[in-house]
Amino acid sequence: MSEIVIQRVERDVILPLRGQVLSSEEARVGAFPGDMATETRHWAALLDGEVVGCVSVMNLRGWALRGMAVAPEQQGAGVGRALVEVVHAEVGAPMWCNAREDAVGFYARMGWTAVGPRFVIQHHGPHQRMTWG
């Protein structure tokens, strides 16, 4: 049976999936500010060599988790959990993210805590600041 492998990768490896799954304008063009900073890290989830998940951590006034995405056909199968568990272990320091409203339950399940009220990011709907560690 095929296994999910989580690996640190160069940013360009994850751009197509990020652009496919995340609708924000900056994700569609592929780049986040801070993507190429030396301390920024990117991880891919690989299934038979294919990128089926990705996440990045960068220093934006503290460690920020960004660009969390799992391919639609693989969602709900543990890929997101596998990615976040590796990020927790490898970063090992407090992090924050702005979770989409429909991903809040996922982060909560992974041990993240909602902080403050929901807020709307223009064109991208309701979000929730969450923290870990």
Ligand X SMILES: CC(C)(COP(=O)(O)OP(=O)(O)OC[C@H]1O[C@@H](n2cnc3c(N)ncnc32)[C@H](O)[C@@H]1OP(=O)(O)O)[C@@H](O)C(=O)NCCC(=O)NCCS
How far is the C-alpha of 103 from the C-alpha of 49, rounded, in Å? 26
Scanning residues 106 to 125, which ones bind ligand X (CB under 6 A)?
106, 109
19 is an interface residue for ligand X by CB under 6 A: no
Minimum distance from residue 92 beta carbon to ligand X (Å): 20
Residue range at the interface with ligand X (CB under 6 A); choices 6-14, 24-32, 35-43, 71-79: 71-79
**What number of residues does the chain have?**
133
**φ/ψ (deg, to 5) at 55:** -160, 155
For CA atoms 33, 36, 37, 43, give the dihedral sign: positive
96 is an interface residue for ligand X by CB under 6 A: no
Of the residues 79, 87, 96, 132, which one makes contact with ligand X according to CB under 6 A = 79
**What are the distances in angstroms from CA 50 to CA 21, 45, 67?**
15, 8, 18
Minimum distance from residue 99 beta carbon to ligand X (Å): 5
Of the residues 15, 80, 96, 112, which one makes contact with ligand X according to CB under 6 A = 80
| Residues near 83 by beta carbon (within 8 Å), at least 6 away in sequence | 6, 43, 45, 53, 54, 55, 68, 70
Given a contact cutoff of 8 angstroms between Cβ atoms, the answer to whether 65 and 95 are in contact is yes
Residue range at the interface with ligand X (CB under 6 A); choices 6-14, 24-32, 70-78, 116-124: 70-78
Which residues here bind ligand X, judged by CB under 6 A?
A: 21, 68-70, 75-81, 99-100, 102-103, 105-106, 109
